[in-house]
Structure 1
């Protein structure tokens, strides 16, 4: 019995820590077909999203303070990012789409990403 409780706690932490958009993604357009879904953060490699990290080419963002967007299957985050030696903050909204997610960032830049299979 003393081993069961720690195993249950580990299993619960794993499930509780999973984010709604966790996965590997590539661009949702024909040029995305040539992207490598196994390599993360390199040119032509996948974008990795976990409950608290957004890792893309040239940048890695820690996602904080998630807020559900009313009426949409979307979440708004405060992000602290590092890229090319600089640290910066921004708001990022991630929204579920038919094929994956849409990422909306500073300046209304929208990236459509398809889930890697």
Structure 2
């Protein structure tokens, strides 16, 4: 009986981090107006292929961002994040809002917004 408690605690500790990072934005997307892009999950982040949000990671074209410090935006289906990104050997940080809509997600940065559509 004493062996079950530590084993259960270890099992839960292993499973919780993955569940803790899941978000309502998780999915495979392509930018609006890019009908020639593919939604191949094996080619996420490549030019003219899918972009994605998976847990605390946002995968753009040739860049990856870690999303931290999630702050829900009151009365909107949106969350504000701090993003720490890496692309082509450089690192940078900025704030980003992700906002769910019926067909995907809006990706909003300071002075710029894009629409990512759900991949079929």
TM-score by length of 1: 0.83
1:71-97 Cα offsets, whole Å, 9 max, x none, are 110000001111122111100000001
> Counting strand residues as a fraction of each chain, which structure ranks higher?
1
TM-score by length of 2: 0.81
Distance 1:61 1:14 in 2: 17
Residue in 1 that maps onto 2:45: 41
Residue in 1 that maps onto 2:88: 84
Give the Å deviation of 1:6. Answer: 5.9
Distance 2:81 2:99 in 1: 11
Change (3 A) 1:98 1:87: same
2:23 corresponds to 1:15 = no
Structure 1 unaligned residues grouped into runs of 5+: none
The partner residue of 1:98 within 96, 99, 102 is: 102
Larger Rg: 2
Give the Å deviation of 1:20. Answer: 1.4
1:59-81 Cα offsets, whole Å, 9 max, x none, are 11110100000111000000111
Structure 2 unaligned residues grouped into runs of 5+: none
Distance 2:81 2:29 in 1: 18
Give the Å deviation of 1:33. Answer: 5.2
Distance 2:93 2:79 in 1: 17
Question: Structure 1: which 4+ aligned runs deviate by more than 6 Å?
Answer: none
Residue in 2 that maps onto 1:71: 75
2:120 corresponds to 1:114 = no
Distance 2:64 2:18 in 1: 22
